[in-house]
Chain A
Amino acid sequence: MKVLYRALLVLMLLAGLVAACAPAATPTPVPPTPKPAATATPVPPTPVPPTPVPPTPTPKPPVKLTLWHAYSSSTGKAFEALVADFNATHPNIIIEPSYGGDLWTMRDKLLTAIAGNAAPDVCQIDQFWCAELADAKSIVKMSDLTGKDPSFDVMDLYDKALETGTYKGQLWTMPFSFSNVVLYYNKALFRAAGLDPEKPPQTWDELVEYGKKLTVDTNGDGTPDQWGLSFVLKADQGGVYYWLASLWQAGGKLFNDDYTKSLFNEQPGVEALQYWIDLVHKHKIVPLAPPDQGFNNGLIAMTWASTSSLTRYIGVLKDDLGVAFMPKGKVAATGVGGANLAIMSTAKDKEAAYEFVQWMTSAETNLKWSTTTGYNPLRPSVVNSAAYKEYLAKEPRAQVIIDQMRYAVVRPNIVAYSAGSREIGLAVEEAVFGQLDPKTVLDAAAVKVDAMLKQ
């Protein structure tokens, strides 16, 4: 044992030395240094007349651009497959994708890199980072590049998609992944509860009524073993995004039109928050700590989630997956989500970067991306294409995600949104977990958010 231990220590030290001294990166081949000639007589340098090099069309070495993204697992594979397609068809440009953690982690990585002037050339960003990055001049204004591109057809991008990348009237980031929140439900559990699997709940009241029937305590220990509904409640997991859908359904607004004052603490906001508190504590159909993968495993009957999950939920639940509009309150509403592509202002070659961005969001690529993942198409020409119609015929549930976009609301692209929405998310979480008075909590958050809006 002692010998083994000592051997291990020595090994660790040795390995440590090797790893620390060696240039840990990929071993760069050292060019063989020419051996000094054996004869010691110095050869006088004969002046060579500069021979004019004939202007042969030497192929330029391809531009290498780095791309950071936050897509993992199967979506990550689909995304990197697109990039590989681009590289295969564009010999002059090499895009090097790297996974930067999930969106929240990648945000830290990106902001650190920007501060250190070591940002990538192109980056996938969450839609609502646009204003901050644009305001800090960390990204290139996309409309400067689209303006020089005669093939760019602004009419062939949905207004809401454009809105996600627009800051102060200019396009800064290119919409890429485009989604909204829908209600997914498990048809098998509907049938088991005696509900018609073709009639999902359409209003807040129906949602509660259905949820109660779908919340079942099979072993009689007082806590349900199957929950009616679940969605993200916690602020650090993006709960505010789902709450905004409820706020808009209640007829509320986040801010006034010139973004100087909070309106989310008015009556509709209070109703939306009370609705959430009631779902958890009064009707007891939403778990505070949902079982991991619960919807996949039939422990949760309905869930609010992004359309980007469509293909993956279909893969798990097959024909038992139902897709429906978000139940409406006073009005029908849902939130627009997704990610855009940004060209960083430190990009090595902005034209090449634009060529990539343009290709990634082209009708052809977008068709492939939306049919493999479930993300909404960005372009009317994609939706109207024969290939997409064929996809819809095979997968009619995707029609819901397109139709619901009509009621979808884009989050405001203002600098204060990031920090402001964080405050709102924390307030919502606090009120729901602590069963606090919605008005008091929202008013307190509004004071903080108003201060941010004034900055």
Chain B
Amino acid sequence: MTHTERARQPWWMRWLRLVGRLAIYLILLVGAVTMLVPFLWMLSSALKPEAQVFVLPPRLIPNPVVWENLRAAWHAIPMARYYLNSIAIAVAAAAGQLLTSVLAAYVFARLEFPAKNTLFLVFLATMMIPSQVTMIPLFLILRNLKWIDTFQGVIVPAWFHPFGIFLLRQFFLSLPRELEDAARIDGCSRLGILYRIILPLAKPVLSTLAVFIFMFEWNNFLWPLIVLNTPAKYTLPIGLAMLRAEIDTEWSILMAATLISTLPVILIFLVAQKQIVKSVTMTGLKM
């Protein structure tokens, strides 16, 4: 619709459009505020004196601002250590899972072999198995590999997950085959096609997947807790749990520690945001 066409619309239609738009923004605003309030509460509590955390009515702006909380939180648990551990685990898990997912998804999307669809269904079906069921068998495997209380015990199992395969396969299927055929005529190998043609096109969905995996591993609590025993190898979520207690949780310190531990996720999301939005619009993935 061009500008002149819009101008020819009767006034009430333009009004209606405006009202409709306003309503949409209002709904979005409510959603945004609902999402933001916990973050704001965390931010504000992290910088408040402990005594003010639960005062009623709640005060959003801390006064005085207690920067000291951040330092105290950093020292309340071996935060630097846990930070490094968490980053190493989440990054390695994301990188490994991306690699396996790309290869498997490409195979399922493009190669022909007997029982391909059945195999794919079996893969998908494993998503329905609750992780608690596979916990002990997996633990036994890790023990035989002597991987209990090691980082690879946390990282390597995270490399194999059907979700990434499913997501990428759907995306690869949507790419025109002609692109690959053209590359093949020019003498490109399978892996070359994957690397030079498919992956550049799949950047948005790859970064979405990377952020998903990173966030999942970053927040993962139970599996690292079960595999790791040495406190120096613990990850941030376990460290945060140490700060919690039924009664005397120091909320300002806990929130300061949570704030510090949320930063990388926010950072990564900001960097990858554009790609993620693109991937959502391209694949029709609903979030």
Chain A interfacial positions (CB closer than 8 Å to B): 1, 4-5, 8-9, 12-13, 15-20, 23-26, 66, 68, 72-76, 96-102, 105, 108-109, 112-113, 115-118, 120, 293, 296-297, 305, 309, 312-313, 315-316
Contacts and interface: CB of A to CB of B under 8 A. Distances in A.
Given A5-B275, A118-B148, A15 B92 contact: yes
B19 interface: no
A12 B197 CA distance: 22
Contacts of A75: 245
B236 to A, nearest CB: 14
Interface in B86-114: 87-89, 91-96
A315 to B, nearest CB: 6
B285 interface: no
Contact of B54 (A12, A105, A109, A293): A293
A9 B142 CA distance: 29
A327 B238 CA distance: 38
Nearest to A100: B225
Contacts of B251: 293
A341 B207 CA distance: 48
A111 to B, nearest CB: 8
Interface in B23-81: 54
Nearest to A295: B247
A78 B114 CA distance: 63
B148 A23 contact: no
Contact of B241 (A101, A293, A296): A101
Contacts of A13: 95
B95 A112 contact: no
A101 B240 CA distance: 10
Contacts of A1: 274
A355 B186 CA distance: 75
Given A24-B150, A118-B148, A309 B247 contact: yes
10 smallest beta-carbon distances between A and B, as pairs: A24-B151, A16-B95, A73-B245, A19-B92, A19-B88, A312-B248, A16-B92, A312-B247, A116-B139, A15-B91
Contacts of B135: 108, 112
Mostly helix, strand, loop or mixed at chain A's interface? helix
Given A72-B244, A98-B231, A313-B247, A16 B96 contact: yes
A346 to B, nearest CB: 12
A115 B248 contact: no
A74 B139 contact: no
B151 A112 contact: no
B249 A20 contact: no
A20 B245 contact: no
A105 B225 contact: yes
B241 A20 contact: no
B159 to A, nearest CB: 9
A68 B245 CA distance: 17
Contacts of A19: 88-89, 91-92, 151, 155
A76 B139 CA distance: 27
A267 B207 CA distance: 62
A99 B231 CA distance: 7
A21 to B, nearest CB: 9
A197 to B, nearest CB: 21
Nearest to A13: B95
B230 A98 contact: yes
B54 A5 contact: no
B225 A116 contact: no
Given A72-B242, A118-B143, A26 B232 contact: yes
B256 interface: no
Contacts of A113: 139, 226
Contacts of B87: 15
Contacts of B94: 12, 16
Given A15-B92, A73-B244, A293-B54, A20 B229 contact: no
B247 A24 contact: no
B5 interface: no
> A1, A9, A26, A66: which has the most chain B beta carbons within 10 Å?
A9
Contact of A293 (B233, B243, B249): B249
Interface string B243-281: 111111111000000000000000010011011000000
Nearest to B230: A98
A15 B88 contact: yes
B136 interface: yes
A115 B232 CA distance: 24
B73 to A, nearest CB: 13
Given A98-B229, A118-B139, A312-B245, 10 more contacts: A5-B275, A25-B149, A25-B150, A99-B234, A102-B241, A109-B225, A112-B135, A115-B139, A117-B143, A293-B249
A318 to B, nearest CB: 13
A373 B136 CA distance: 35
Contacts of B207: 5, 9
B88 A24 contact: yes
Contacts of A26: 232
28 contacts: A5-B275, A8-B268, A9-B207, A16-B94, A18-B88, A20-B96, A20-B152, A20-B156, A24-B233, A25-B149, A25-B150, A25-B230, A26-B232, A72-B241, A72-B242, A98-B230, A101-B225, A101-B238, A102-B241, A112-B136, A112-B226, A115-B136, A116-B140, A118-B143, A120-B229, A293-B54, A315-B248, A316-B247
